[in-house]
Structure 1
Amino acid sequence: MLPTKEEEAKLNRHKGDIDELGSAEKFIKSLLSIRFAFQRVEARLYKETFDDETAHLKNSFLMLEEACKELRSRRLFLKLLEAVLKTGNRMMSEQSEELDALFKHADVKGTDGKTTLLHFVVQEMVRSEGIRVLDSIMGRIDQKSKNRTAREKEEDYRRMGLDLVAGLSTELYNAKRTATIDLDVLVTSLSNLSDGLAKLKRLVNNDLGTDEKGEKFIHSMGSFISYSEESMKELEEDDDRVLLHVREITEYFHGNVSKEEANPLRIFVIVRDFLGDVGSCVQRAEMSQSP
């Protein structure tokens, strides 16, 4: 709500009774008697919101970093991708190297017009994971489990496998959340913080540097400037490191990324949508299991 230069000039030219002005004009005219009053207000606002802004950026960078780790380390996710890749490449004439192309193949329907390649893979994954975990557990705690009928074993495998595959979204919690991040917003926020710090330093070191009346303001901002410079340095290092991790994870799944991505975080959007499809397959399998 700053006054324009014309409004400032008009108020400064006013030499009549101050009571002739409205309350808003009186207030602004008083502020204009203070050197760099509006810049000081802006600096105070920057200081008040600085910690909240940096905390938001740090949390976003941390989430991105954790998302990259999840995609590289979650065994079940990697096993599911391998199964989709192998099954898809056996069925398709063209091999898929990028995740989005691979997942499009996974959506191809069978002869019944309902069952997709992904649904088939999820069913197989449910059984194999159920066997892997349940046999290991039963073998350790109950030797009598060997007396289960083949049908009972299949039901147990299916139930355990469904729970495991259904939990994949939880294992990739940060990867799914990262799909909602707008990288441009993060970059803009970081740039705005940097610009605000530069304006504050210019105000303190140059504009008010020779103003004795500004000593109190300069003193109060001195320690904050040192603190904010250190915080900005950490944020910029976080930004560089996390974007490197994102580029590495994209190349890990897509191969050499030669051209600039319109959305560097697109891989997380692809994974989120894929997990949604996996969840639908699991729900369908659960429904078919219900009596």
Structure 2
Amino acid sequence: RSFSRSNSSSGIGDSMDSATSKEQKQREYTTLGLPIVGGVSAEFFNVKKVAQTDYNSFVGSISALLAKIVEIRQLVSQCGKNDKDGKFIREMNHFLENAEKEMQLVSEEQTRVMQLVKRTTDYYQGGASKDSAGEQPLYLFVIVKDFLGMVDQACIDITRNMQKKKIPKAKS
């Protein structure tokens, strides 16, 4: 009997040691994992920036720039009457041609990027973007930004709770 009692009392101690060891491992994993999980938000910095982008301004910027190019072209043609050697007109026409080519490339890139955004939104929202595609195609980025905010807050809360557990409470 005494042998079985010593075994059972030793078993209780082992389970307490096991629980303490388990808690220490969990704390260690949490301590190691928090910087990694917290770093996810930094990795997605560009997603946060896109979430703040106004889609209508984004799309309208190309149209506005093209309108300014047309306006400049009209001014250049008016200045051509006063340009005696024609250097200014040649330089400005060359500049405007390059600007129009660049704007064409930017417009094509914008179309390509928006197609990728739409495909990504369709994938992650299961086709829900078809209903809201015209309203706010960049809404997926807002969702990700909000999620990253929740992850950051959870990391802060976990760190705060871990620090509270480290401070021993004074007994009265």
If the length of structure 1 is used for normalisation, what is the TM-score? 0.44
Question: Relative to 1, partners in 2 of residues 1:163 and 1:208: Cα closer, same or farther, differing over 3 Å?
Answer: closer
Which of 150, 154, 157 is the aligned partner of 1:281? 154
Task: Summarize deviations over 1:67-122 as a string: whole Å, max 9, x none.
Answer: xxxxxxxxxxxxxxxxxxxxxxxxxxxxxxxxxxxxxxxxxxxxxxxxxxxxxxxx
2:120 counterpart letter in structure 1: I
Unaligned runs of 5+ in 2: 1-20, 167-172
Match of 2:48 in 1: 176
Within 5 A, what are the aligned runs for 1:19-168?
149-168=21-40
Give the number of aligned pairs. Answer: 142
Q: Provide the rounded CA distance (Å) in 2 between the counterparts of 1:181 and 1:270.
A: 13
CA distance in 2, matches of 1:284, 1:261: 38
Q: CA deviation at 1:229?
A: 1.8
Distance 2:116 2:57 in 1: 19
- CA RMSD, 1 decimal: 2.3
TM-score (norm 2): 0.71
**Which amino acid in the other structure matches residue 143 of structure 2?**
I
Tell me the equivalent position of 2:61: 189
Q: Does 1:219 align with 2:90?
A: yes
Q: CA deviation at 1:212?
A: 6.2
Question: Which has more helix, going by share of residues?
Answer: 2
Maintained 8 Å contact 2:83/2:89 = no
The gaps in structure 1 that reach 5 residues or longer are 1-148
Partners of 2:66 and 2:35 in 1: CA distance: 47
Name which of 247, 254, 271 aligns with 2:144: 271
Distance 1:219 1:158 in 2: 66
Identity of aligned residues (%): 31
Conserved in 1, the CA contact under 8 Å of 2:76 and 2:89?
yes
Helix, strand or coil at the partner of 1:258? helix
TM-superposed CA distance for 1:152, in Å, is 3.0
